[in-house]
Amino acid sequence: MKIIWLGHASFRIETGDKVLLVDPWLTGNPMLPEDQHEAAVSGATHLILTHAHFDHVIDMLPLARKLSVPIIGQYDLMSYWEEHEHLDTVGFNKGGTVDLGDGVTLTMVNAVHSSTFGSDAGPKAAGSECGYILRAEGRVVYISGDTDIMADMDWIGDYYKPDVGILCAGGHFTMDMQGAAYAAKRYFDFKTVIPCHYRTFPILEQSAEALAKGLPGVDVIEPEIMQAIEL
């Protein structure tokens, strides 16, 4: 399995013949150079959405059309897109599992955040925020999505037993590095932790030093743009 950071909370995950794009943000992403956009999305088989804020969703519909691949996400929004945008979607909900084939499964779990988009009449709800448990190649990866620390992490860690955590940790909009370290230490038994949703803007944390210090014995990997982390 290869986990490739596209900046912010965007990832390309390669496993077997599957290429999963999680919250792929290209347009206006200050961390992903434009000349890397094509390589970032090339060969994608699935688009995976955690929630509808612009920095997660803005490229979702254009990519679905360009790549002719399904969008996987929360039922309410997926149903709307399928009906009104005429796109291939897989809508499900928290506790549900989608089989992507070849032993790759995706289970939706809770997150604590919000999921809206702007309109002339103000913010509009767009389903609800979520995270995911990805099972592939004998690994179990917890993709937190945008979230704060939450009590649900207790049973998520105990029930699914993820060994890899992709954790939002930039602060201001989500838990920060110290919060992510606390959550990982209290609720999980990760072997590897990859922080995200940081470094993008000055308002966010710029280093994962506090996360690494808070998790002795855990391999905390600060990702680099378009450089594969091999598990």
Q: What are the structural domain ranges in the chain?
A: 2-230
Whether residue 14 is predicted with pLDDT greater than 90 in this model: the reply is yes
Whether residue 96 is predicted with pLDDT greater than 90 in this model: the reply is yes
Cα 211 to Cα 183: distance, rounded to the nearest angstrom: 10
Cα 59 to Cα 40: distance, rounded to the nearest angstrom: 13
Note the pLDDT of residue 135: 98
Whether residue 119 is predicted with pLDDT greater than 90 in this model: the reply is no
Which residues is 193 bridged to in the sheet? 165, 220
The mean pLDDT value of the chain amounts to 97
32-87 residue pLDDT tens: 999 999 999 999 999 999 999 999 999 999 999 999 999 999 999 999 999 999 99
Note the pLDDT of residue 75: 97
% of the chain beyond a pLDDT of 90: 95
Distance of CA 213 to the CA centre of its chain: 23
Phi and psi at residue 100, to the nearest 5°? -90, 0
For residues 163-186, average pLDDT: 98
For residues 92-114, average pLDDT: 97
Note the pLDDT of residue 161: 98
Tell me if 8 sits within 8 A of 31, measured CB to CB: yes
Q: Which CATH superfamily is domain 2-230 in?
A: Ribonuclease Z/Hydroxyacylglutathione hydrolase-like (3.60.15.10)
Whether residue 183 is predicted with pLDDT greater than 90 in this model: the reply is yes
Cα 158 to Cα 210: distance, rounded to the nearest angstrom: 25
For residues 5-27, average pLDDT: 98
